[in-house]
């Protein structure tokens, strides 16, 4: 286990989403440092990529946005640089932040068993809520099977407006064999965060989305960020979201986000994600002790050499003065959209988004893996 006890100062971010063109928004009458956003967005769109892509970088010098491709394949409309989009598993850092706020208030204990907050919920096969802690949920060390491994996107496409209960999704996963004994390994599982959302509700008496709005969205004035519950649309300017189940693109923009819930149901924008990541790393949402808990990371076993804290993943970067200490962030995939976001401890933030998921193919997958470090770190 790696402990990262320093609270970063002046964290910043980059965001990639869908649109066309390059624009700069000055801050303090300064221009952002040179970056390769044009190359990044062009690598994400086109014949072997998504219909469109957008990249936004934000640091102490200002904000720069680059876009490529189209937001709508019917009309060939370019994507608005201020687009909102589904952020998928980037919902998880929001959920982890609220749980850690409750820890700071003494209303949740990180090392308490899940059973304390959700009596009788974690049952099935060899899963037991008395063995699994809240910390293990947030860090993906519970060993619980991932609900996404036992649901087909085609099943969702048959009835995209269907409402799903969090308990219903958890109960799909739990009968399956766990990956390992709690605390004995690392394996990404959205089931963990469905349960974390249920713990927020148990501890506060309010839905997890209401607590995210009250504790994160409103204090940071994230006007483009929503926890939409059953609302199937994306409010405001947005690209269409597509999947490719076979050879043709299918529009899946209208979708009931309860199918992802606390594991991935939120909507946001590039600028809002930047602001959120900066606020988390600067300690504006959490007390120092909880920031240290969030950034206490353990190896994931991924080829990137990454380590996962509580809702944030740390990734090392070679040959980059900007990201010499690596960066913190998260991936987010939801039907119709794929998003990557990251922030350095030296004052730069980033998020990457394309309007195609799943079905982009190997070329797009490779480009997405490279896009965030290219935009954020200049590699």
Positions annotated as catalytic residues are 89
Give the DSSP per-residue string, 117-170: HSTTTSEETTEETTT-BHHHHHHT-S-PPPGGGG--HHHHHHSTT----HHHHH
φ, ψ for residue 71 (rounded to 5)?
-90, -20
CB 223 within 8 A of CB 268: no
Determine the 3-state secondary structure of 266 from DSSP. coil
Q: Which helix (H) or strand (E) holds 54?
A: strand 52-59
* Residues 40, 136: Cα–Cα separation, whole Å: 35
Alpha-carbon distance of 289 to 341, in angstroms, equals 24
Residue 7 burial (CB < 10 Å; 0-12/13-18/19+)? middle
Give the side-chain half-sphere CA count within 13 A for 15. 26
Interior CA angle at 93 toward 91 and 96, to 5°? 110
- Residue in 137, 147, 36 with CA at minimum distance from that of residue 92: 137
Residues 6+ apart with CB under 8 A from 368: 44, 338, 340, 352, 354, 360
- Comparing CA positions, the residue from 100, 132, 128 lying closest to residue 113 is 132
């Amino acid at each position: 286990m790696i402990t990262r006890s320093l609270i970063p100062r002046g964290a910043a971010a980059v965001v990639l989403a869908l649109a066309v063109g390059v624009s700069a928004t000055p801050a303090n009458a300064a221009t952002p440092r040179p970056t390769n956003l044009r190359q990044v967005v062009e690598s994400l769109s086109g014949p072997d990529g998504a219909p469109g892509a957008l990249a936004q970088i934000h640091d102490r010098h200002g904000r720069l946005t680059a876009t490529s491709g189209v937001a709508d394949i019917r009309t060939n409309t370019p994507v608005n640089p201020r687009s909102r989009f589904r952020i998928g598993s980037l919902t998880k850092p929001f959920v982890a932040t609220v749980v850690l706020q409750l820890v700071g208030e003494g209303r949740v204990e990180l090392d308490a068993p899940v059973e304390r907050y959700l009596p009788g919920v974690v049952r099935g096969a060899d899963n037991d809520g008395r063995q699994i802690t809240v910390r293990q949920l947030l860090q993906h060390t519970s060993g619980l099977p991932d609900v996404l491994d036992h649901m087909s996107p085609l099943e969702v496409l048959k009835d995209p407006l269907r409402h799903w209960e969090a308990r219903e999704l958890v109960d799909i996963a739990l009968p399956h064999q766990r990956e390992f004994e709690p605390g004995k390994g690392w394996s990404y599982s959205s089931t963990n965060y469905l349960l974390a959302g249920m713990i927020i509700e148990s501890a506060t008496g309010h839905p997890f989305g209401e607590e995210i709005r009250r504790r994160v969205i409103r204090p940071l004035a994230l006007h483009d960020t929503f926890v939409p519950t059953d609302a199937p649309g994306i409010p405001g300017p947005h690209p269409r979201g597509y999947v490719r189940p076979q050879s043709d693109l299918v529009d899946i923009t209208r979708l009931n986000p309860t199918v992802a819930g606390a594991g991935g149901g939120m909507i946001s924008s590039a600028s809002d994600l930047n602001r959120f990541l900066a606020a988390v790393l600067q300690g504006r949402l959490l007390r120092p002790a909880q920031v240290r808990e969030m950034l206490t990371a353990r190896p994931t076993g991924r080829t990137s050499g990454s380590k996962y804290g509580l809702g944030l993943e740390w990734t090392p970067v070679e040959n980059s003065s900007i990201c010499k200490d690596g960066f913190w962030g998260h991936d987010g995939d939801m039907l119709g959209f794929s998003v990557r976001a990251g922030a350095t401890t030296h004052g730069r933030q980033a998020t990457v988004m394309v309007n195609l998921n799943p079905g982009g193919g190997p070329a797009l997958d490779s480009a997405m893996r490279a896009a965030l470090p290219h935009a954020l770190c200049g590699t």
